[in-house]
Amino acid sequence: MMKTPITVLQELMVKFSESPEYECVAQSGPQHLAVFEYRCAARGHVVSATARSKKEAKQEAARLMLARLAAAGLNVPAPYTAPCAPCPPVAGDGDAVAAGGGARSYKALLKELCQEYKLPGPEYTLEGDTGPAHARRFTARGAVGAHQRVASATTKKAAQQLAAQQLYQYLRENLARLTEDFVEEEALARAHERAMERYVEARADAPHRPDLAQRVADYHLGLLLHLEEEKVNLGADALEAASPDAEPETALQAVAGALGLRAEWHSLPAEGGSLTLVRLAPSSPPLVFCARTREAAAAEALAYLRLTMKFRDQK
């Protein structure tokens, strides 16, 4: 079974009665695209590496340190003797980049370059993987038209990033006169903005999740606790503006819209006819009001909202 870089480095340093020092020195990007940077110090040498997880970044830092010590003449066991570049960090689906410039996605740069100069879009394929489960190495192929590059790394995404880096650098070097107006920082900013737009859209389409930490005693305060204060104020204003002669259903639609809620109507079979249910969503806990008619159900919902706003004013 192949030992991990951290284990190999630890065993090597024991011979000198020393221990390598690790430190997580940076975390960049939004939470869903976080990239971690780990620093490793040993025998007077310092290296750093970045990855999508702390564990991966620490292993990569240890691997770079072993290569550095091997170059300095220490007896480092194979396969950690050959120097190699750290795997570039990846973000999300590989198209985004963490804000701040610390983490660079070559997949994002390559995609922007291809789009700006009407090149075929980059394509990536997994060529294979080798090694035991704790030290897996993945090989990925990246292609832009007839140009292809193959790279290996400890994760699939990192391997794709390396292949993208090689393709990107090749195109920039060989098409330098044609791509001289391509600004990397602007391209990364565009990629980041698009990634954030997709993230916001995904969050907007995500189903509402109940607040499991909410106490039963606070259920009647659900609207006050979980709606933004600005929306609560708008809802209170809509309630005050509602005419006493207005149809309850019309007034409810106006107040729910001000609160950022929607009124969902349902019919429930019952003895002697049917019941009408109106649900205000999304809310935590769910707010459902029932009556024989839509008008009566809407009136019940409005009565609850008025009591809620009255309680707010008394706090």
Burial class (CB in 10 A: 0-12, 13-18, 19+), 4: middle
% pLDDT > 90, the chain: 13
- CB neighbours (10 Å) of residue 46? 13
Tokens describing residue 267: 């019919």
| 301 band by pLDDT with thresholds 50, 70 and 90 | confident
Distances (CA, A) of 314 to 144, 168, 233, 234, 308: 65, 63, 14, 18, 10
Query: What is the β-pairing status of strands 123-130 and 137-144?
Result: antiparallel
What integer pLDDT is reported at residue 156 of this predicted model?
87
Task: Tell whether 200 and 268 lie within a shared domain.
Answer: no
Q: Are residues 242 and 199 part of one domain? A: no
Q: What is the pLDDT of residue 312?
A: 63
Whether residue 185 is contained in a domain is answered as yes
Give yes or no: residues 198 and 239 share one domain. Answer: no
Least confident stretch, 113-117, 220-224, 257-261: 220-224
Greatest C-alpha distance within the chain: 92
pLDDT of res. 241 = 79
Distances (CA, A) of 151 to 52, 60, 112, 148, 165: 18, 16, 21, 10, 10
pLDDT(65) > 70: yes
Average pLDDT on 271-290 reads 81
In angstroms, the CA 95 to CA 105 distance is 7
Query: Domain check: are 122 and 196 in the same one?
Result: yes
The answer, yes or no, to whether residue 79 has pLDDT greater than 80, is no
Residue numbers of the domain that contains 177: 106-204
Q: Check whether residue 196 and residue 111 sit in a common domain.
A: yes
Query: How many domains does the chain contain in total?
Result: 3
CB distance 265 to 253 below 8 Å? no
Mean pLDDT for 79-102 is: 46
Same domain, 226 and 282: yes
In a domain, 94, yes or no: no
Token pair of 204 as six digits: 């907007």
Please check whether residue 299 is in contact with residue 276, taking contact to mean a CB–CB distance below 8 angstroms: no
CATH of the domain at 187: 3.30.160.20
Residues 199 and 233 in one domain: no
Distance CA 24, CA 12 (A): 22
The mean pLDDT value for 37-57 works out to 88
Q: In this predicted structure, what is the pLDDT of residue 153?
A: 85
Lowest mean pLDDT among 15-24, 110-119, 222-231: 222-231
List the structure tokens of 118.
């009407």
